[in-house]
Amino acid sequence: MNEQALQQYLYDHIPLSRAMQLHVLQVREEEVVVAAPLAPNINHRETVFGGSASAIAILAAWSLLHTRLHRTGIASRLVIQSNTMHYDLPIAGEFIARAHLAEAEDWARFVRMLERRGKARIGVEAVLEYAGQPVGRLHGEFVALAGATD
């Protein structure tokens, strides 16, 4: 799945991504990078609303797993189970979220568990960046359920 296909999928299936004007910058096996502008995500302080920052980070993390599962050909439904968000600095313009597996070696175990038991859990990290520096980070635990498709 390339950048354009992922972005269209998000717009079609997660309408909030369109409203937030999320755009997919990069899709690689080990990383997905998305961006969003300030205007549709602004708060009363003229910085990015915390909920928007969190949503963009979750979308990046979910997209990483969605594209990796798509490559494996395993039909599954992917949901977030829990997350922790840290906001380190205000975001006053377009920002990006860069998602990667929390532990790269967990992927093989995750796929094996999904194939054997029909359910698997994995951790994903997403780093928010603004003006070339990290400004926040998310850790999310995601669950995949075999059989259903996203």
The string over 60-78, giving b where at least 16 C-beta atoms fall within 10 Å of a residue's C-beta and e elsewhere, is bbbbbbbbbbbeeebebeb
Host domain of residue 122: 3-146
Is the model's pTM score more than 0.85?
yes
The total domain count for the chain is: 1
40 membership: H or E segment, kind and range:
none
Question: Residues 34-64: pLDDT tens digits?
Answer: 999 999 999 999 999 999 999 999 999 999 9
CATH code of the domain containing 106: 3.10.129.10
Cα(74)–Cα(63) distance, integer angstroms:
15
In one letter, which amino acid is 68? R
Beta strands in 1-150 (DSSP E): 23-27, 32-36, 76-87, 95-101, 119-130, 133-146
Question: Residues 68-114: pLDDT tens digits?
Answer: 999 999 889 999 999 999 999 999 999 999 999 999 999 999 999 99
